[in-house]
């Protein structure tokens, strides 16, 4: 065990940079199954698209807690021997993605601590917007921190509040936290699932029919793999406590109305998942239909930017009758990193993932469909690839509205100054990415595709309407937006 973790430990000031607290993640929890850790591992396998940087599982037999975490993909982090060592009938798991320099073993989840009430383990998907303030307060009161993660802030709060059981303590801790969180927690006797009052991130409940056990997971695709039956979505603001007595549902927070992240449907979730009752693949196809209504092009073929643009491109082709073609082929074996030659290969960064086919594209008027434009540089390279392969025209359709603001609720987007749509007009963007035409989805069309706006979604990255800051009050929000703008 020669493992080592040489890394700069940031002093307080640098730790509070907003970027550190952004992370996309997936969580899973298993209650009462003889192979709990194996099922948790498989759940993470199915949720791998939510984070490929690190993975971990904590299990318990009701007495001891067992822990295995590592950097990399689920398949690389766990061996059969590791799974075997993770004893007990209950387990929680976590996959994590992060682009910051603090991609270190120390910052992997689930965390597990010993405190006055025993042991508590926690895995968290989301982002606390007041993590900085809470951390400062806790440090003033004598808490010491070992990681940079929001998760540790929640654990410190839980160790200091009162409550007659772990559920109450976790609720009391979370009532001080503002932001997005879908959490699974494990104690000696309970598996707990919580979704923040606005329900930004998904969390579903499933049932292991044979063992009579329960599963919590970020998405339904995890239930499918382990053969669990979908029961229902955990609701915004709900806490479920699963113990030997069964499932108890609590409502520890004041109701404020659901604000599920709409970008989960557009890009982040797996197409075969159903989130709050809506199938992701079908939603994307309907978005394609809406794009067809908004931008009926006189074109020869519709080509998706794979994989996230596929379903919307299929929807567009279906609605317009223009043939759907795979003019860009994706290399699915691409690892997390590759070694780039010093001497530049033109558009290398995109070529490693995508190859354009002249035999499909040559001489064609092409409708290209992608999920979003963030910085614009990748989109420009993709348009170049398609033109180099001989396309006569390239019409770039985007299956989301312009991304004009960062996400504070758990998706890692750059700040406003790097968002092309926050800095440029659509016509400027069209020129910058060298497309013949450019069409974004409109907000109205988005919600037609989603069925209804009224269900309650967070679309802050498109609309600037940040639900938490509205709740906190205009003044404080002002403060933050100035800093970011």
CB of 162 to a copy of itself, least distance (A): 10
User: Is residue 189 a contact residue for a copy of itself (CB under 8 A)?
Assistant: no
Residue 372 CA, chain-centre distance (Å), reads 15
The answer to whether 461 is a known catalytic residue is no
Site map for a copy of itself, 234-273, x if CB under 8 A? ------------------------------------xxx-
User: Is residue 217 a contact residue for a copy of itself (CB under 8 A)?
Assistant: no
Of the residues 25, 407, 458, 461, which is catalytic? Answer: 25
Distance CA 349, CA 343 (A): 13
Question: Which of the stretches 80-88, 248-256, 260-268, 427-435 binds a copy of itself when contact is defined by CB under 8 A?
Answer: 80-88
User: Is residue 160 a contact residue for a copy of itself (CB under 8 A)?
Assistant: yes
Question: Which of the stretches 155-163, 192-200, 294-302, 473-481 binds a copy of itself when contact is defined by CB under 8 A?
Answer: 155-163
Distance CA 188, CA 197 (A): 26
The candidate with the shortest Cα–Cα distance to 460, out of 390, 391, 403, is 403
User: Is residue 343 a contact residue for a copy of itself (CB under 8 A)?
Assistant: yes
Q: Which is nearer to a copy of itself, 79 or 417 (CB)?
A: 79
Phi and psi of 86, rounded to 5°? Answer: -85, 80
Residues 452-481 that bind a copy of itself (CB under 8 A): none
Q: Which is nearer to a copy of itself, 156 or 408 (CB)?
A: 156
| Residue 458: HSE in the Cβ half-sphere, 13 Å Cα cutoff | 31
Tokens of residue 150, six digits: 């929001």
CB of 474 to a copy of itself, least distance (A): 30
Task: Indicate left, alpha or beta for 142 from its phi (over 0: left) and psi (-120 to 50: alpha).
Answer: left
Distance CA 420, CA 374 (A): 6
Distance CA 67, CA 110 (A): 8
Distance CA 226, CA 480 (A): 43
User: Is residue 226 a contact residue for a copy of itself (CB under 8 A)?
Assistant: yes
Q: Site for a copy of itself (CB under 8 A): which residue of 244, 245, 254, 339?
A: 339
User: Is residue 99 a contact residue for a copy of itself (CB under 8 A)?
Assistant: no
User: What does the angle CA 23 – CA 273 – CA 254 come to, to the nearest 5 degrees?
Assistant: 60
Residues 294-323 that bind a copy of itself (CB under 8 A): 307, 310-311, 314, 318, 323
Tokens of residue 107, six digits: 């910052």
CB of 364 to a copy of itself, least distance (A): 13
User: Is residue 38 a contact residue for a copy of itself (CB under 8 A)?
Assistant: yes
Q: Show Cβ contacts of residue 274 under 8 Å, excluding neighbours closer than 6 positions.
A: 220, 230, 280
Question: Which of the stretches 260-268, 337-345, 373-381, 417-425 binds a copy of itself when contact is defined by CB under 8 A?
Answer: 337-345
CB of 484 to a copy of itself, least distance (A): 24
Q: Site for a copy of itself (CB under 8 A): which residue of 227, 257, 464, 485?
A: 227
CB of 361 to a copy of itself, least distance (A): 11
Distance CA 329, CA 326 (A): 7
User: What does the angle CA 320 – CA 277 – CA 288 come to, to the nearest 5 degrees?
Assistant: 15
User: Is residue 101 a contact residue for a copy of itself (CB under 8 A)?
Assistant: no
Q: Which is nearer to a copy of itself, 344 or 452 (CB)?
A: 344
Phi and psi of 328, rounded to 5°? Answer: -120, 125
Q: Which is nearer to a copy of itself, 255 or 358 (CB)?
A: 358
CB of 423 to a copy of itself, least distance (A): 31
Residues 359-418 that bind a copy of itself (CB under 8 A): 359-360
Q: Show Cβ contacts of residue 332 under 8 Å, excluding neighbours closer than 6 positions.
A: none
User: Is residue 94 a contact residue for a copy of itself (CB under 8 A)?
Assistant: no
Q: Site for a copy of itself (CB under 8 A): which residue of 21, 23, 43, 68?
A: 68
The verdict on whether omega for the bond into residue 307 sits within 30 degrees of 0, i.e. cis, is: yes
Q: Site for a copy of itself (CB under 8 A): which residue of 18, 19, 32, 52?
A: 52
User: Is residue 177 a contact residue for a copy of itself (CB under 8 A)?
Assistant: no
- Other CB atoms within a 10 A radius of the CB of residue 292 amount to 22
Report whether 187 contacts 119 (CB < 8 A): yes
Question: Which of the stretches 44-52, 291-299, 402-410, 423-431 binds a copy of itself when contact is defined by CB under 8 A?
Answer: 44-52
Residues 112-151 that bind a copy of itself (CB under 8 A): 112-116, 118-119, 136, 139-146
DSSP designation for 417: G
Report whether 81 contacts 123 (CB < 8 A): no
Is the C-alpha dihedral spanning 312, 316, 321, 323 positive or negative?
negative
Site map for a copy of itself, 431-450, x if CB under 8 A? --------------------
DSSP per-residue letters across 54-75: EEEEEEESSS-EEEEEEES-HH
User: Is residue 338 a contact residue for a copy of itself (CB under 8 A)?
Assistant: yes
Q: Which is nearer to a copy of itself, 42 or 422 (CB)?
A: 42
User: Is residue 48 a contact residue for a copy of itself (CB under 8 A)?
Assistant: yes
CB of 83 to a copy of itself, least distance (A): 5
Is the C-alpha dihedral spanning 366, 369, 370, 376 positive or negative?
positive
Tokens of residue 369, six digits: 């469909």
Q: Which is nearer to a copy of itself, 63 or 452 (CB)?
A: 63
Active site residues: 25
């Amino acid at each position: 065990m020669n493992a080592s973790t040489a890394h700069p430990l940031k002093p307080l000031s640098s730790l509070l940079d907003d970027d550190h607290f952004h992370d996309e993640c997936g969580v899973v929890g298993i209650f009462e199954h003889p192979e709990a850790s194996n099922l948790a591992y498989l759940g993470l396998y199915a949720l791998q698209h939510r984070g490929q940087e690190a993975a971990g599982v904590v299990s318990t037999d009701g007495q001891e807690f067992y822990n295995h975490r590592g950097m990399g993909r689920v398949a690389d982090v766990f061996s059969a021997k590791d799974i075997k060592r993770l004893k007990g009938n209950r387990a929680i798991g976590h996959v994590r993605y992060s682009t910051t320099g603090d991609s270190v073993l120390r910052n992997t989840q689930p965390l597990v601590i010993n405190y006055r009430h025993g042991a508590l383990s926690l895995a968290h998907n989301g982002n606390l917007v007041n993590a900085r303030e809470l951390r400062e307060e806790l440090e003033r009161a004598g808490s010491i921190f070992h990681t940079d993660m929001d998760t540790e802030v929640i654990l410190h709060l839980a160790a200091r509040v009162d409550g007659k059981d772990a559920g109450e303590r976790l609720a009391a801790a979370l009532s001080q936290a503002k932001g997005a969180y879908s959490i699974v927690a494990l104690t000696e006797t309970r598996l707990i699932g919580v979704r923040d009052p606005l329900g930004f991130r998904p969390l579903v409940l499933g049932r292991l029919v044979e063992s009579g056990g329960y599963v919590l997971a970020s998405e339904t695709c995890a239930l499918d793999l382990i053969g669990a039956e979908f029961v229902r979505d955990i609701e915004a603001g709900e806490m479920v406590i699963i113990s030997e007595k069964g499932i108890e549902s609590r409502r520890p927070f004041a109701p404020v109305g659901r604000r599920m992240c709409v970008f989960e449907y557009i890009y982040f979730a797996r197409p075969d998942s159903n989130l709050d009752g809506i199938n992701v693949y079908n939603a994307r196809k309907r978005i394609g239909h809406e794009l067809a209504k908004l931008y009926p092009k006189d074109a020869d073929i519709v080509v998706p930017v794979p994989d996230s643009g596929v379903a919307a491109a299929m929807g567009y082709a279906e609605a317009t009758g223009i043939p759907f073609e795979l003019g860009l082929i994706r290399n699915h074996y691409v690892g997390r990193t590759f070694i780039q030659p010093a001497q530049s290969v033109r558009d290398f960064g995109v070529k490693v993932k995508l190859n354009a086919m002249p035999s499909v594209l040559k001489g064609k008027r092409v409708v290209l469909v992608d999920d979003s434009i963030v910085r614009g540089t990748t989109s420009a390279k993709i348009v170049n690839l398609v033109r180099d392969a001989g396309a006569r025209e390239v019409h770039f359709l985007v299956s989301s509205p312009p991304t004009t603001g960062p996400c504070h609720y758990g998706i890692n987007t750059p700040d406003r100054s790097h968002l092309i749509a926050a800095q440029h007009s659509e016509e400027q963007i069209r020129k910058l990415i060298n497309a013949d035409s450019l069409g974004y989805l409109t907000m109205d069309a988005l919600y037609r595709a989603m069925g209804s706006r009224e269900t309650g979604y967070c679309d802050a990255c498109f609309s600037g309407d940040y639900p938490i800051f509205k709740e906190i009050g205009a003044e404080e929000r002002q403060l933050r937006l100035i800093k970011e703008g």
